Structure 1
């Protein structure tokens, strides 16, 4: 457990911590800004990087006044105009941050040297380069972009100093907290909880008929299209199992998923003496986001606590891996080569888009991933950013071609 330290935190300037938010206009980014707004004594915004929603990005920039603002949109003049309009509407004069635009903007923002912490809330494989940039710059990385670790694997782990990566996913934040209750050689098992998604209890035949609208109706969390669909297919839980393996150096066979419909217990650690420690809180991403940015210190009133004065029942049951085979497939892929998970992730993203375009059925998503993996031959080379990105491109192209052939 040398990458996410549970005992010796990565050295970070104390308060207020200067935070870079990547993916600031997304779900994690907007909630991260909410945390910062509620705790100005702990955090300031050093830089923002958003996607294509320039109107929202400009409003965020004017509200928090970072020195640097970047966007994936290629038109830097459009970003400048959006900020100028937002400033005028807010009655703010003389705010002219440094601007960056284009596909490399997020990575450049992640390297900004006037910062302490990077919250990477980007969704998908495009978060890998910014993750590596943040690590190279020496920033504490509060990582919500699980895909960058999953597809980057050893590349990311080699780049990280001990304790430099702090997980923001609620499950991995829970594990990091519970792991502080014992030493690494006392850990017996990691137990990752899953809500079960909207299709818990469905048969394979029932999954074939679900619609994109049904897949986006998650019972607990409000997330973007890809992550919400992944939660419905259990691909998200599969990625989280692999992420736990990479973050905490626990063998895959000692990591399991369990269905917990109430989403109050976010994950558990079982120790060798039979004790199990669980992290419990109402489902609210502001808690793990706040802890990630302020690690290893907690943020007062980051989220509401459980009300134990009210009766409640929490249930746990095994995941049906015959119907939801994503976890078993991911474990097999992760054990095959350092780049197999890059194929898994890319094939899934292509399949999810095809499902929402109504080109394939929901039940075709995981079989599509499996077919692409079966056709993949890894390159016998040391893993690198270039190799991972080449593998990602191959998998997307191959998955797209397979779907066209089967249309």
Structure 2
């Protein structure tokens, strides 16, 4: 346990956490603006900038490589916009063109650099897949300054960026500087990608832009919560990656971070899918039981009120349709009777069963809705009497109070349905 406090492990972990916080925060805005793949293009486009900066300056300092990477990333964004403006191709095609062109050029430059006398010693190959273990204290200090600068700028412009992300039309009408905000966000996304290139690599860095916001979006619709969950997801990816590379020296940190993020995403998808299936089953079960209860009350109303019969449970069991889609067997009828009694809608005395005042009011409502809908179909839709019952059997369970009032007003409070049966109202 105490080995985890060794300086090398702490530097790697701290650097990974800083890049996770910055990239997930900027990535959230890019995700909401549906531009996440731009991060992938930018990360791949950094490679020629990294190599050219090294070839021109001859040293592998963070500031030099950052400047080269930033300019290369900025040029890739300008190229994407230029290709879209002068051609008819869609954004995804322009992104593919820029990504492959810049990345291919970067590989050519990298091959050339490695053939130079000191090329192999420069370790430029690590920028492809990253090498977090190579992070130095000076790298981590630079990471911290850059990460906090990114987060500070995001915080300053956050309100405007949120408006642009959710309602660009309103943002433009409000007079917000759309282009300025766009370039600010582009600068931040490039900076955050550059931040992680040494640790994660140009190939995998886009995962830190895409995965944390995607994970967060699966869990919430609120922006503040999404931002928090994205940050926590990115930090968790960083911790898992740095811990794995520490305990297993041959395991690369960057790829493990990305695999961890993918694993978290898959786990959440599986849990969410299972939750939705269970929720759907429970809602269907609740709905089915409510329909059973309402049909029982409606049937009891017809026997007790309209036919003026003293109903016995045995009589109810034989007269209620069984072996249909609603009641599959008599045991379901028996369970429905018990549930209805628990809700004080019916009273049970021996074998006798009767509606309570509460149950009578609810039974009237169901019968009224059924018959009002039959009247509506016959008088407003022109349907024949023989074709209106089945539809009313379904609709009666889902008509809300305001629709019921509209039906009564539209039909001028009819007293009988098309079959000549009374329509019961409250107070009658």
Bigger radius of gyration: 2
Give yes or no for TM over 0.5. Answer: no
TM-score band by shorter chain is: under 0.3
Give TM-score, length-normalised by structure 2: 0.23
Bigger fraction of residues in helix: 2
Give TM-score, length-normalised by structure 1: 0.24
Bigger fraction of residues in strand: 1
